[in-house]
Structure 1
Amino acid sequence: MSAVTSVPCPDVAEMYCTHRRWLHTWLQRHLADTGTAADLTQDTFIRVLTTRSMQAPRESRALLTHIAKGLLIDYWRRRDIEQAYLQAVAHLAEHEAPSPETRLMLIEALVAVDNMLSTLKPLTRQMFLMAQLEGMTLAEIAVRTGKPAITVRRHIRRALLACMSTQQ
């Protein structure tokens, strides 16, 4: 029995055949890495398949570029987080360093926290980080920011709710 492969959307298949090589080249110029460019090319088309209607847009390259730019930003952000993490644990002895599996889980958690923090308003993010990273009390944050303690409490509550919503 032979395996039959079907393409869920002929328009996307046509878009893939027409623009895959161009998109890969475009990504490669921004990355200087053929493997990552190939991965992001595939991720771009997966995103097209999973988020678009079944009709191909008139401006395929514009859509592909828009999606690929978002994926590039995500890639760079994740890479920066991973590098910062690796620098933070570089001083650890080999037997103290986390296993590759643990390292991957920690990096995924850091990326999730970074994504959550990026959704917050700047003042909310600042107050939350003061409380979590600097261990400041509501009163200390109020003094530093010049805002009433009740306002600080509301901002930190919003941030905590955002944290809880990303866990689900």
Structure 2
Amino acid sequence: MSADLTLQRHVGSLYREHHGWLQSWLRQRLGCANEAADLAHDTFERLLARRETATWAEPKAYLATIARGLVIDLYRRRDVERAFLDALATIPEHHHPSPERRAELLQTLQAVDAMLDGLPAAVREAFLLSQLEGQSYREIAERLRVTERTVANYMARAMGHCLALVA
């Protein structure tokens, strides 16, 4: 039997045994049955994408860990969207992008946010101040209360992190 078929059967078994529990667990945390159903589905998709065929001693704990990460991602996407809409509200309506362009911009912002995930807050902030606000290293150093050399190190770390993800 192929590894793919073994994986599909194993995940299918986990799905049959734990999908209802996982969806209920997510519904309690999110307060929304539709979002819970989506994230429960995404959890099992994530399992398939990982291509792991091992059996887990505590499948509910493993599923909850994956789902918890998806919930965090959901909240982060919402935060990015809220910040984008807040920024949009500060400019005159006749300068607002089209709905299509708005969706593209939001998707790009969410991709950048995901790429910067895992970096220390100061590194992420230095990168965003430089790239989005166009601040100089001196301005960033003053704002973060660090040296310009530290800002340069932060930028190198952020750029390296992003390049590693793209490669």
- TM-score bucket (shorter structure): 0.7 to 0.9
Q: What CA distance in whole angstroms lies between the structure 2 residues aligned with 1:144 and 1:38? A: 43
CA distance in 1: counterparts of 2:95 and 2:134, whole angstroms: 26
Normalized against structure 2, the TM-score is what? 0.79
Is there any run of 5+ residues in structure 1 with no aligned partner, and where?
1-5
Cα 1:90–1:148 change in 2 (3 A) is closer
Verify the 8 A CA contact 1:112 1:166 in the aligned structure 2.
no
TM-superposed CA distance for 1:34, in Å, is: 1.3
- Mark the CA change 1:154 to 1:49 in structure 2 (over 3 Å): closer, same or farther: same
Pair 1:47-2:46 in alignment = yes
Identical columns (%): 41
Between Structure 1 and Structure 2, which shows a larger proportion of helix residues?
2
TM-score scaled to structure 1, two decimals?
A: 0.78
Work out the CA distance in 2 between the residues paired with 1:167 and 1:25.
36
Aligned equivalent of 1:63:
62
Task: For 1:37 and 1:106, locate their aligned partners in 2 and report how far apart those are by CA, in whole Å.
Answer: 26
Distance 1:149 1:81, change over 3 A: closer
Query: What secondary structure sits across from 1:22 in the alignment?
Result: helix
Q: How many residues align?
A: 163
Task: Work out whether residues 142 and 152 of structure 1, in 8 Å CA contact, stay in contact via their aligned partners in 2.
Answer: yes
Residue 53 of structure 2: SS of its match in structure 1? coil
- In the alignment, residue 158 of structure 1 is paired with which amino acid? R
Shift of 1:96: 4.1
Where does structure 2 lack aligned partners over 5 or more consecutive residues? Answer: none
Q: Which amino acid aligns with 1:18?
A: E
Instruction: Give the structure 2 partner of residue 81 of structure 1.
Output: 80
